[in-house]
Amino acid sequence: MNAIRIIPCLDVDEGRVVKGVKFTGIRDAGDPVELAERYNEGGADEITFLDIGATYKSREIMRGIVEAVSRRVFVPLTVGGGIRTVEDMQAILRSGADKVSLCSAALNDPALLTEGARRFGNQCIVLSIDAKRHGDTWHAYKSGGRTDSGRDAVAWAIEAVERGAGEILLNSIDADGTQAGYDLELLRRVSAAVPVPVIASGGAGKLEHFTAAVREGKADALLLASLLHDGVMTIRQIKEYLRNEEVMVRC
């Protein structure tokens, strides 16, 4: 049995963590390398960097960050944002990323998943889905949640896994930022539809939401940003809570 993974996500723009992180005693709240180390010491099971700048310069800086983090942090590192070609994937994997996360680029060109998996293995390819509810279904959105791709999110997850995605990062646009809990029905549908791990994102505000994501939503991992960055809770608190709820976590 695998532990439920807790994955902090750092949004980075041209080398700086945006929104900042409210840790006590931190020297530079915007330094992604220092923050990754802190989260690693705090019990992160994996760390995700999202390059929201997504310009050429920002991508180049991100490679330097990953190179530096991978010399000091020895848990899996995932990088997303601005990765549009197989060459982009190769460059960031060479820098020390273990996985790449694709969202808009995969919707625009699904063959990118196939080719990426063939070249680097399914375990390297995370498909990120920004899903928004449309009646009884969900659509996959692109461009940071601004554009409806028109694709059914569950069908897209299934196709992506057939093409070679090794994990699905599922973000609910509706729940994101509400702190009212995950979109459990969306999670459940996607988890039931694909044979690969599903990482839940968007909507958590209280500890009970995590147990619901795991028990009802069948999530394999939880991606967290502002709850951790704002110091509302720590990874250790979440893990202790989950352990008491008899959800398996890595201590």
Partner 1 sequence: MIGIVDYGAGNLRSVLKAFEFIGLPAQVLAAPAEMKGASRIVVPGVGAFGAAVEKLDASGFRAPLTDWVAAGRPLLGICLGMQLFLDSSEETPGPRGLGIIPGGNRKFTAGKVPQIGWNRVASSGDPLFAGLSAAPWFYFVHSYYAAPDDPAMVVATADYGITFPAALRSGSAVGVQFHPEKSGEAGLALLKNWGCS
The least distance separating partner 1 from the CB of residue 221, rounded to whole angstroms, comes to: 8
Q: Residue 109 catalytic?
A: no
In the Cβ-directed half-sphere of 169, how many Cα atoms lie within 13 Å? 28
Work out the number of other CB atoms within 10 angstroms of the CB of residue 219. Answer: 26
Does position 51 interact with partner 1 (CB under 8 A)? The reply is no
Q: Which of 196, 224, 225, 228 binds partner 1 (CB under 8 A)?
A: 196
Q: Which range of residues in 14-22, 72-80, 133-141, 180-188 is near partner 1 by CB under 8 A?
A: 72-80
Q: Residue 11 catalytic?
A: yes
The least distance separating partner 1 from the CB of residue 209, rounded to whole angstroms, comes to: 21
Does position 167 interact with partner 1 (CB under 8 A)? The reply is yes
Q: Which of 55, 57, 60, 72 binds partner 1 (CB under 8 A)?
A: 72
Give the C-alpha separation, 161 to 127, whole Å: 8
Tokens of 51: 């390059």
Give the C-alpha separation, 162 to 127, whole Å: 12
Q: Please say which residue, 18 or 75, places its beta carbon nearer to partner 1.
A: 75
Cβ neighbors of 48 (< 8 A, separation 6 or more) are: 7, 8, 9, 10, 77, 78, 79, 80, 101, 223
Does position 122 interact with partner 1 (CB under 8 A)? The reply is yes
Give the C-alpha separation, 98 to 116, whole Å: 13
Q: Give just the sign of the alpha carbon dihedral 94, 96, 98, 104.
A: negative
Binding to partner 1 by CB under 8 A, coded x per residue (else -) over 31-50, reads ---------x----x-----
Active-site positions read 11, 130
The residues binding partner 1 (CB under 8 A) are 1-3, 5, 40, 45, 70-72, 74-76, 93-94, 96, 98, 121-123, 166-167, 195-197, 220-221, 250-251
